A and B are shown apart, each in its own frame.
Chain A
């Protein structure tokens, strides 16, 4: 131990010597603080060769990817969560710490580390270098955002910094792809452990900060001028008057994207599915198998795939907002409103995504550090009107509400009904949040701490990878959960065979099931056919449209006039409104149940959520049926 400049130092000794100092690499971890461009570098290096999994027992995502090197060798790159220190306090820090020290069960210790730091904010980011270098793994220090450093008039002597840190240092820009050759060289080379250097005692932040300043000064670090564009943009986006205005415009634009922007694309996908379905039908001989493929598989799965353009457009929008840095400002503006129901600004982003789909929204709650706030956000997210509810709403509104002016000539009755359902879900979410935060999830008000990154231009690559990821997850779901549900239902509707022919629907297995459910749902104004629809919609809400199509013997399509007319004849207005209310509240989505179980680490919360939302849906539908029936008569 020595004491230099008031900074306690300890000799750097590797915790454990690597197996062989001169060997080829197999696993390399990327470590860095949030907003240092870690994922950008990871995406740049690995491209589409990525996979995402969860570390055992925790909710932290494990992203790995492969890079092909010279001589047909491959190296596995691990993208560790963004951290400010290696203190195992938060779950992210503990995972990073455990992986880097080889204590994570089932994950072998990486052979080397790429430490990525933001060169425009080096004095603060260098703090992380001390604990990472003291691990004793071969380390390459990548100082990212070199372009921003240069443009802001900043400078740095990388070789002087490398000498102080005892590890190679490169200036690079992951977003622009410049300065990445040394990274490839590092991965290709056989290299040695870093030189022993003196590092500060890593538990003491003020001392580490002083150490970082001194090292920075010795490497002639000159910080760049403050980002002019960020200040100019914030003068508008955080303006007392224009700020909220822009915020509202952005939220409206998100909805506009869902409803109007996606429509032509969805129509095109639908036409393609219908056309290919009939082409396949023409190729196969007439048989129950053909009906299963064309009506069950193609029709059922197709009715879900139609939503792909809508979901992708929404994620493109959210991706642009997030990568540009605007979402952090939106969270800041939303904080006061969210605080009124006991939540915080960081809950805003997941709740906005939940309008597309609750599954990614629930995954996005990971940015909320406070566990109780996070669980509350997870529990209310499925109340937001996700795109899977849209076909159900569209079908029943079209069948039961005639078009006509409601508020002046521009807002029609059908539009008003749709907006009303959105408001209903929103109110249920906020009332539930309030209830939770004043009872079982009551917590000390934990501080809201939000780092605002400088505005950046989103890269096409990162947006493209996001969309690719979403599309893959969505199609996998359509190909597994929804496909299974649709096929099972189709079979239940066609057995037992009578004289080799499918029975009338009321005598089929599905019909028996629906009639068994009838006493329970009759008070809501639902008949046994709706009962079958409800069972099938447990897998995914939108399945009910295809199911009702099968039951009424009509091609399932929410815009089909035949199905609308059949429903209109078969259901009372009270029952129809009750069904809309039921769908606004109930948690009919197995994917959401599964993701809540994964993210909360057990069955307690998903079961509670399912029962709560189901009870609310039942009581809400009961009240709706009763009110509408009384009002009409």
Chain B
């Protein structure tokens, strides 16, 4: 996942160990759901993601393993 802030993406799959993928899915990172990168810690990492009605912070090293499709026709309010 490498989207600019505020840009919507659709989750395709999670290329992560099973237990990590499961934990992220429980928090809303389910394939098909929309994810929007939001604010971050100073320096840009970790970053908050808006997903399925929640805000979840991930380090970049984890986020890069979440494959998404850029929904580039759709810009969010930020």
Contacts and interface: CB of A to CB of B under 8 A. Distances in A.
A and B associate: yes
Interface of A: 84-85, 87, 89, 120-121, 123-124, 127, 205-206, 209, 223, 226, 230, 234-235, 238-240, 243-244, 332-333, 335-336, 339, 345, 445-452
Interface of B: 16, 19-20, 22-28, 30-33, 38-43, 45-46, 48, 50, 52-59, 61-62
A238 B43 CA distance: 11
Give the 3 A-B CB pairs with smallest separation, nearest first.
Answer: A84-B26, A238-B39, A447-B62
In this complex, which of B24, B42, B52 has the most chain A Cβ atoms within 10 angstroms of its Cβ? B42
A341 to B, nearest CB: 15
A89 B19 CA distance: 9
Nearest to B62: A447
A89 B25 CA distance: 14
Contacts of B28: 124
B56 A450 contact: yes
A226 B45 CA distance: 23
In this complex, which of B31, B45, B46, B61 has the most chain A Cβ atoms within 10 angstroms of its Cβ? B46
A234 B48 CA distance: 10
Given A127-B26, A234-B39, A238-B40, A450 B57 contact: yes
A448 B46 contact: yes
A452 B42 contact: no
Contact of B43 (A87, A336, A450): A336
15 contacts: A84-B26, A87-B22, A124-B28, A127-B26, A205-B30, A209-B25, A209-B33, A209-B52, A234-B48, A238-B48, A336-B45, A447-B16, A447-B58, A449-B23, A452-B55
B57 A452 contact: yes
A333 B42 contact: yes
Contacts of B39: 234-235, 238-239
Contact of A121 (B20, B24, B53, B57): B53
Given A89-B19, A238-B41, A243-B42, A205 B25 contact: yes
A85 B40 CA distance: 28
Nearest to A33: B26
B52 A123 contact: yes
A243 B32 CA distance: 33
Given A333-B41, A446-B20, 17 more contacts: A121-B53, A121-B54, A205-B30, A206-B31, A209-B25, A230-B55, A239-B39, A332-B57, A335-B46, A335-B57, A339-B59, A447-B58, A448-B46, A448-B57, A449-B56, A452-B55, A452-B57
A121 B51 CA distance: 11
A391 to B, nearest CB: 37
